[in-house]
Structure 1
Amino acid sequence: TGQLCEIAVDLANLCNPGCQNGGQCQQTAQNTHICVCPPDYTGSRCETSILATHPCITMPTTVCQNGATCTKHDADYLCNCAAGWSGRNCQIQDTIATCNPSPCGAHGTCLQAVLPNGPIIICNCEAQWTGKFCDVNLAATTTTTTTTMTTATMTTATMTTPLFTTATISTLVP
């Protein structure tokens, strides 16, 4: 170091008084040093435990709410939200319906799907049941009307072709 590089630098003493708590001393381009701290420590010499002030340790249920788990992420944290919750601290209740409890009633199975515009639920209805929530009984609301039409034939020199057949028409009665 020095104006003309005339002063020898004792690299061994750059980190005196050294890094603490398992920190590693590294020389910088300016012949100074920095301490590279292990994950649970911070400070110029790795002298401060992150755990002593880390939100996941000091206030886990306040930081991550509504049954979420708090995960230490360096000096910061991440909340792993329970189903139905989102946001940095899991403080926002999802506005979509969930399958718990099932909105599909006694005659449907609730399925959750994730679409590009967000998650949705779908009710897979039993036979004879329909409706958004499987609450419409088809057997109680369907009437069947059978209309028999007469069969007319068109005769040509070599072929007979029926023009009308018997049809069954089902309609839903509101």
Structure 2
Amino acid sequence: MESNRSLRLMWIALVLGMMEFNLSTEGARLRKPTPISSTSWQRQACESKEGNQAGHFTCTPDGQLECFEGWIGDLCNVPICKRGCDPLNGHCKVPGECRCRIGYAGELCRDCALLPGCVHGTCNKSFECLCKPGWTGLFCSQATCKENCHKIRGYCEKPGECRCRMGWTGEFCNECQTLPGCNNGYCKTNPLDCICNPGWTGLLCQTPICNKGCSPEHGYCEAPNQCRCRVGWWGTNCDVCHPYPGCRHGYCLKPWECRCHPHWTGFLCDQKIVSCAPNICLNGATCLMPESELNNKVAGGQVDITCLCPAAYTGSRCEVELKWQDERKWILSQQSNHTSVHLTPSMVKDDQQVNENPDDIALPDLNQEGSSFRNTLLFPEENRSRNNQTSGIAVD
């Protein structure tokens, strides 16, 4: 009972000591051991084993208390806070610290505490969040965009910016953006659109529209309303083929051909065709030869002639008669068979005249695909399919 009474008296003295101590004293330093009036309870604190459990004082031989550095109070149980620590808003549990009470902040607990989560704000009183210039929102975390920046199509990460969302462009993000790669188009209201300018077509408006009438096969264009011809073609619409260079009396259906007009033959269609006499072709066939062979004929040399066979006959001189086949189909041949014939003096008579008037010769229409006067030098595949007996001038 006596021991408990002593402890009770010691804690009462502690409370009285705290009430007398001025916490606002700044720059408090460790005091030299201050003798405490020798009272019975002080002596009991030194004599009691539990009296110095905190270990902040020592007892002198005469029973007085001496506080350790950083501690004050009658029982040396009050820590000395950091110098400048606000006496109302701060406190400490060990010497040299400054712990802020709720609602206050700062090194010395003299500042108001911000609202938790406040990013770019200040406060005049505890738990406020007053936004700094350029920031807004409950926690001042939203940047204020550039004036007139579209609220939906634009955004900002820093104050004064205006960044456009996908599909929009312009200073204030109020203009639609074309589809990437759309170089000759535009958009009206919908983003990522590509409406072609006049003269262009395609998904990205990348294809120019050529001049009206320009051949899609033989012409092309690099800009609208052009018509550039591919190799071998010419003309306003690139629909005229280039004949073989040097072709004189011929034409072409495709580039680099030389199809002879009536009464002409040869690789370049530069040899005139005349009738030959005597007519050595058989079965009523027409005999023709180049005009250049006239000298050979007169001299009795070798002459190249062509036999135009009537229906139902073939061969180099139209000597082969065609027969019925399958009782249904008549095999006809209207080939132009030519051969080389050596004219002897007996075959040449002075009174025989050569018909040099081309108009008197009945020739097929050379514009037809099946014409017999097609230039064999330009159609070797067709020439090989002809009668193996043909030879001589370049007419099949």
Higher-Rg member (1/2):
2
**TM-score (structure 1 length as normaliser):** 0.42
1 or 2, which has the higher strand percentage?
1
- With normalisation by structure 2, the TM-score equals 0.22
